Structure 1
């Protein structure tokens, strides 16, 4: 069996087995009127949560938070084990892409009524609400977000005779500008993408900007759209950038330059970059930015990344857990701590009010055009390095495979994985 198929089926089986044991867990009742200790799981790498929990405790003297960091690749397995043992945490903060799978498995508390009572519900990032909603019921809310954007090195623009305040507006212009930048000197790369060449975070937005789709609406009839002409054109563009020598070299074939690429960007050796704003912490004055990534038409789109939070079924203190969740999505101090840590607060109106310059405004603006694929098979079809999107798009970009036929094959593989995932959950 394909490794990506085993991944999604194994996860589904683990959570389904755990679901049968959930009734054996805690009752979800609060401990009288005395002090309460909330157990909270944070996704590893969410550097805002520790400071936020301290601020929350200060504002809520009767509640203490016990925060645990869980690695992303172990998160779902650990949660399934917690359900089996009847010892779920009070609040889980997890990768936003996993929201559909967790909601479908029936292990999250329905928070529709509480969410609709939020004064700022209409201001929360729309894609974050959408991904946390299943059949009109809300099961999770966005708490710390980021978006993909285009950035450029102003000094390299000047060296290439380009206006440092005027970025390229289409993928064709990105290539044109990259050629001029790369001609300025040895060791200079015209373009880099930090987030996987042709991958979800920095690749999909170019296809979305041109009206493309990756998957249809979630549900048992969901299918992928990997052969959508806009998505095929996006992968073909990356192939051209690689074959033209304009994309920053990778350490190994078929791999994104990753941390080495980021270091080269920060050292001023790359002209145009598709990535997230976190990359440029402390270097913002050296780069320009726009609120998204362009396609071929001049439109912008962005991949909505970040963290979602939910209250598991059987949580020992669901009322206090909601108090925390409401604070995370609504409180100004929580929003300021997100900003300090490089995240964007889920309340876009609040985030905009905290934006102190054009850079910050563009970062927040990326969420207004932010999207993400909603599928219970997301990991298997897109994120898994052995899965259909990664394997086939990389074959096109780095090995010269034909874009149309290769992505059509990837679509067939993805459709089978989606069907398997829905069969597994019944």
Structure 2
């Protein structure tokens, strides 16, 4: 969906960040230093910041409560909330059209490309001054770094894929929601049982807006495959598309069997991220694969009953099997002025990072969420390390209001599963190319998987070579 401004909600910006300093605008300028930013500290400035689209009223109020704190601490900064959700099919147009807010979020897969094309501000000088700048997980931090290691964008969330499941549908189908499927054969059997016993979709598959390729590749990782291989070559690494492979064929044949033999995948074969979450939240889907940290969205934007929620890890069954991992970066528009960039970093530090790195920020965020009956303490894969994450959970222990025991199948195993980053080159192009492949298998019983994958691999390799 295209981002749109929230009704002129002048949310005066939230609690303080460290010394500001912002990267110069696109075009190769040097990033601002903390000293440069200090000179801008008294300048009155207004910035637009991303707020998730479609939030329930209570979630909007929680956002505003945090904004009130920032306004009090930064009286020279005014924040205007702009509704925004990254969507692969529209993001490039929004970026080119200048309709994005000054602070916006993108998936890890977009980071390097935006940096190389200088389509976001180089805020690395200011990020380097943040007290936690050297504490990020190296793999996580790399998603927002330029080739020379400068941190242009801030990793604010990370995830490892998981299987979300509806506990109520499990019970209705006679399945034990405390013992979710642990193998892909068990996932298939549970999906068939749910469909037969409840009439709802046993297992839903995203297929559009780049999500079909994303989830298909997730299944491939879990079977031991990868979407790309990187090897040394001359002046730069050589990236090779690896799509026409046994693992991709196995994943597609698995989906084909569930669709055509079991009839357990429902009748919507154009799901994207938003519609899959909406239908899952509404109790129409028994299981689907997505990032393990999606609970907040399901509850606050899709009105899911918390009692019905369950999540477990992906079965890993092939040699070199791994969980596809990714995350979200906070970035600043290259069109922002130096003063706006400095204010934007303050916002990022306060709104996104304070709750992860300081007791004051963690408690304030938890209290603001709890006051509006929003989820507090839902387990996520940390952007730092597990010890840091566990410490923040201790800080807010008395305010956690989510059913932690229902996350246990995921949290008990995710830290022991090997995580692998998404395909490194032309990632979203790879996913987009695979969307129609997944759609074809789910809508045509006689789809030629070998031909589809062979053609897709050639297309992706061309895109990689052009990137």
User: What's the TM-score bracket when you normalise by the shorter of the two chains?
Assistant: 0.7 to 0.9
Of 311, 314, 317, 1:293 maps to 314
- Quick check: 2:239–2:464 contact (8 Å CA) kept in 1? yes
Q: Residues of 2 paired with 1:226 and 1:369: CA distance?
A: 21
Q: Which has the higher helix share?
A: 1
1:398 aligns to what?
A: 443
User: 1:166-205 residue pairs with structure 2 within 5 A?
Assistant: 166-185=179-198, 187-193=199-205, 199-205=212-218
1:331 aligns to what?
A: 354
Deviates more, 1:280-289 or 1:292-301: 292-301
C-alpha deviations, 1:366-419, integer Å up to 9, x for none? 698665535563333323xxxx21122322343232333421220111111222
- Quick check: 1:188–1:270 contact (8 Å CA) kept in 2? yes
**Coordinate RMSD, CA, aligned:** 4.3
2:455 aligns to what?
A: 409
2:220 aligns to what?
A: 207
Of 71, 82, 87, 1:57 maps to 71
2:170 aligns to what?
A: 157
Of 426, 445, 448, 1:377 maps to 426
3-state DSSP of counterpart to 1:120: coil
Of 141, 159, 184, 1:129 maps to 141
Q: Give the Å deviation of 1:120.
A: 3.4
1:36 aligns to what?
A: 44
Deviates more, 1:107-116 or 1:397-406: 107-116
Q: Residues of 2 paired with 1:418 and 1:163: CA distance?
A: 45
1:271 aligns to what?
A: 286
State the TM-score, normalizing by the size of structure 1: 0.72
Question: Is structure 2 residue 318 aligned with structure 1 residue 320?
Answer: no
- Quick check: 2:141–2:155 contact (8 Å CA) kept in 1? yes
Change (3 A) 1:110 1:213: same
Q: Residues of 2 paired with 1:381 and 1:207: CA distance?
A: 13
Change (3 A) 1:370 1:115: farther
Q: Give the Å deviation of 1:31.
A: 6.6
- Quick check: 2:244–2:450 contact (8 Å CA) kept in 1? yes
Of 93, 108, 115, 1:103 maps to 115
Q: Residues of 1 paired with 2:97 and 2:283: CA distance?
A: 46
2:251 aligns to what?
A: 234
Q: Give the Å deviation of 1:244.
A: 1.9
3-state DSSP of counterpart to 1:199: helix
State the TM-score, normalizing by the size of structure 2: 0.67
Change (3 A) 1:207 1:184: same
C-alpha deviations, 1:289-330, integer Å up to 9, x for none? 12x433435966255344532463763224333333332443
- Quick check: 1:311–1:321 contact (8 Å CA) kept in 2? no
3-state DSSP of counterpart to 2:226: coil
Q: Give the Å deviation of 1:243.
A: 1.1
